Amino acid sequence: MCPWTGFESAPPVRRRTSSASLTAVRESLHRLVARSLGIAFCFALVAALSAPAVARAENTWAPLTRRLVADGFDAAAMEALFARPELRFDPQIMARKMNVLLEIKLSAGQPKAEEPELYWGYLNPVLLYQARSFLQEQRATLREVRSRYDVPGEILVALLLVETKLGRNVGSRSALVTLASMALAGDFSLVEPYIEQKELEPKMAQWLRQRTAQKGAWAYRELKALLAYAKSGKLDPLSIPGSVYGAIGLCQFMPTNALRYGLDMDGDGRVDLFSPSDALLSIACFLKANGWAANLSRQQQMTVLYRYNHSLPYTRTILAVADRLREPD
């Protein structure tokens, strides 16, 4: 019995083999060996290429997680968070911003397009109707907010309309991915391949490096604030949507402002800037802290609103929408 098959072995049969048959066998063997070596080489090549790629993917966030841990964040929590597959580094987030800033810098001294008086699109009847409906729905909240901070409900609703269309447009990307990518990309070498202007004078190239580092430092501060905000609200940091700059909520606060001015209006024990009542109270707190008071002149109101968003057309739009909301239906 053949020990590895369990079948009786037959007596050997001797056959005469022609030279042509031997040649064909040799060629078949050569092809089989070559194919086997080729497959083995492919597997070895894939393994060689894949291992560094996996290592690079795992280590991409390492400089950032080390900084966060050094600043007091839990090491295990940060490692688990930044190991999640949906949290991928995107150098283009910083590169797009730096390309815009570089273009502005290079075009300094050239004629600029004239700013609009205000953003007329927010005064269309459909949006104003929606804003009036929102005003009615939140009337009790707005009355309480005004008693605390002197900010009229029409101003607050106008701000929410312009910022997020009353919560319908709070951003489609993860604020964490945006801020973490920008924080890591403070290292200019990660951004440089995506800069559109390839030949810059040394002075301009140095300015770009410094500006990128500054933006990275800013994003790192906002990232830490976002993580703290998520923890205080028992939220998954990756679940918080944000703008292209990482602003969050109906009021589009940067996370540092969310920590500084965010308030709980609905009494659920946490600040939720995606809740209309919390967002309205938080906006009023910001405006009050930045100079809002009863009986301000229109110019003084514009000065305060300008601190919310440094744009004159923006401030004029807020006041124009508020004026419309005060008019009778």
**Mind listing the pLDDT tens digit for each residue in 89-145?**
999 999 999 999 999 999 988 888 888 999 999 999 999 999 999 999 999 999 999
Report whether 240 contacts 226 (CB < 8 A). yes
pLDDT of residue 79: 96
pTM of the complete model = 0.81
pLDDT of residue 265: 97
Whether 229 shows a pLDDT value over 60: the answer reads yes
Report whether 258 contacts 271 (CB < 8 A). yes
Reduced 3-state DSSP string for 1-16: CCCCCCCCCCCCCCCC
The tens digit of pLDDT for each residue in 74-86 reads: 999 999 999 999 9
Whether 202 shows a pLDDT value over 90: the answer reads yes
| Residue indicated by tokens 């050997």 | 12
The tens digit of pLDDT for each residue in 271-305 reads: 999 999 999 999 999 999 999 999 999 999 999 99
DSSP SS3 for 243:
coil
Could you tell me the two tokens for 288?
């009050």
pLDDT confidence bin for 27, thresholds 50/70/90: low
Percent of the chain with pLDDT over 90: 78
